[in-house]
Amino acid sequence: MRPRRDGRRRGIGLLAAALITAPALAGCGSDDQGVVLRFYTPADGATQYAQAAADCTEAAGGRYRIEQRTLPRQADEQRLQLARRIVGGDETLDILGMDVTWTAEFAEAGWIRPFPPRVADQVRQGTLEAAYETGTWENRLFAAPLNTNTQLLWYRTDLMPGGRPPQTWDEMIDIAEQLATQDRPSWIEVQAAQYEGLTVWFNTLLTSAGGRIVGEDGTTVRLREGDATRQALGVMKRVATARGVDPSLSQRDEGASRLAMEDGNAAFQVNYPFVLPGIQENDGGSFIDERGNPTSRDTGRRVGDVFAWAPYPAVEPGGDANVTIGGLNLAVSSTSRYPPQAFEAVQCLRNRPNQLRNAIDGGVPPTLEALYTDPAFQREYPAWRAIKASLDDASVRPESPAYQSISIVISALLNPPSEIDPHAMVGELASQVEAAVNSEGLVP
């Protein structure tokens, strides 16, 4: 049981002071409109979320109406807008589409409501366990999983010895260095720029090696325990200093990693499932010659012809990869005037038809386990078996109210990964994360 930290409401006051003033309350809606639930979502997928709002309004039979509202495109801007408006007492915030990393912070600050036990039980039934965990804090559900995401290994079959993909990071690096000696595409694409993607890469390697950034209480830093931190840092260092490494590795994010492979320069990438429809939409990427190198000639052979997927590489031979999952959860604002209706609406918004639509039209894997056996889902996700297996063994980002601060200090310290000293950096990394935890995580 995670202990409740002191100063919960004090955290709200600190953020409110930092914000100075919150925006004026936006159109609260008069009583003659009936119950109107405002559903705030990211810009990505807004079309699907608006359709879900319309369908669930119809299903409510006049008891309430759901209006979808679009937040800014960047996650940090979304989080800041929601925090400002809740602190300001904005009653027009009802259902919040929340990044999985915000749960502990918003719950600890009292910005979102815990789900009633009966509703929480209904949400848990049939939901992937790792996805459910992203919405909990102190053993209570605060956000119901809507979408999830995980990474796989994407590779070039024409560049693999015997056509078999690597199973560990060390094996992948060895293959890449061998390709480099042959002047063939050899880049290993990872998310190594100074942003949260770098924290996710480190967290996946760390948990795959048996470590954790923080304990279940969200405050105890565990980076000094055992050898897992050094192992994770060692993998990052080796990728970034391998022969034939991508010279722009320390600037790569998900999109840049995808393009490096489509252009024919990369042999491997760890990335999300969106890369598969991406390469299909781009007619298979660039042309490649008989050695797999990019060419301007129309050879009739493209990267897409040899593009394949495999499980995320393990840190140790025979071990599992515990990939850090992402996703979007639905929470009910503490300022909402209609909590009972909002909790009911959340159940509809995340139901099977809506999650299937989000998966097919929006490219985000569902959190309902039953959909992974749905033929419609399987047709759109040829890699569904690998995705499901990865989700079954998934890890989550550090569950802490200080997550935003933790992520900032980790990504700053580990960029560029070529300068990591796996032995000397363990203590420094632990000390900086401890300082981030003590800041309470309420970063305005």
Distance, C-alpha 43 to centroid of its chain: 16
406 and 378 in one domain?
Answer: no
User: Can you give the pTM of this predicted structure?
Assistant: 0.90
Pairwise pLDDT comparison (246 vs 440), residue with the higher score: 246
Residue 307 and residue 180 share a domain: yes
* 80: number of Cβ within 10 Å: 16
**Model confidence over 286-323: pLDDT tens digits?**
999 999 999 999 999 999 999 999 999 999 999 999 99
pLDDT at 44 over 60: yes
Domains held by the chain: number: 2
279 in a domain, yes or no? yes
CATH code of the domain in which 300 resides: 3.40.190.10
CA dist 283 and 191 (Å) reads: 24
Q: Are residues 277 and 421 in the same domain?
A: yes
- Same domain, yes or no: 221 and 330: no
* Region 399-421 average pLDDT: 96
Q: What pLDDT is recorded for position 439? A: 77
pLDDT score for 6: 38
- pLDDT-based confidence at residue 30 (cuts at 50, 70, 90): very low
Residues 302 and 331 reside in one and the same domain: no
108 and 37 fall within a common domain: yes
One domain, residues 142 and 178: no
At 433, list the tokens.
Answer: 């994360």
Do residues 215 and 271 both lie within one domain? Answer: yes
C-alpha closest to that of 439 among 413, 383, 401, 412:
401
- Measured in degrees and rounded to the nearest 5, phi and psi for residue 284 equal 90, 5
Residue 356 token pair:
């299937």
The verdict on residue 256 lying in a domain is: yes
330 secondary structure, DSSP code: E
* Residue 76 structural domain: 8-149+326-392
Residues with Cβ within 8 Å of 33's Cβ and at least 6 positions away in sequence, in order, are 65
Rg of the chain over all Cα atoms, to the nearest angstrom: 23
Q: Are residues 162 and 240 in the same domain?
A: yes
Query: Coil, strand, or helix at residue 152?
Result: strand
Tokens representing residue 149 in the block: 């995401």
Are 299 and 415 members of one domain? yes
- What average pLDDT does this structure show over 186-208? 97
